[in-house]
């Protein structure tokens, strides 16, 4: 029996530089869609970074700003 391997990393986080799997072009929703950020934080991120941030950085920003991560779907 083969162990399911996670898909390979295809991006580097614009905030911390860590390699991660951006699912923007995947059939399943990207993990970042489960993290809620307020409008002010989103605007700051757009001004500061080009490209995606990893889930760990997005979750840390959500926690710092008191916004909750959305539950994982299905």
Boundaries of every domain in the chain: 12-21+28-64
pLDDT tens-digit series, residues 36-57? 898 998 999 999 999 889 999 9
Instruction: Determine the pLDDT at residue 68.
Output: 56
Residue 24 is given by DSSP the state T
For residue 70, pLDDT beyond 80 = no
Instruction: Determine the pLDDT at residue 29.
Output: 80
Instruction: Determine the pLDDT at residue 5.
Output: 66
Q: How big, in percent rounded to 5, are the helix, strand and coil portions of the chain?
A: 30, 10, 60
For residue 16, pLDDT beyond 60 = yes
**Quick one: tokens of 70?**
């959305």
Query: 18: how many CB neighbours lie within 10 A of its CB?
Result: 14
H helices of 1-74, in order, are 39-48, 55-64
């Amino acid at each position: 029996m083969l162990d399911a391997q996670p898909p390979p990393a295809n991006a580097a986080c614009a905030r911390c530089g860590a390699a991660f799997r951006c699912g923007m072009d995947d059939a399943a929703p990207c993990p970042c869609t489960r993290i809620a950020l307020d409008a002010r934080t989103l605007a700051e991120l757009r001004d500061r970074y080009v490209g995606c941030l990893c889930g760990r950085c997005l979750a840390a920003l959500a926690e710092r700003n008191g916004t909750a991560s959305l539950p994982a779907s299905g």
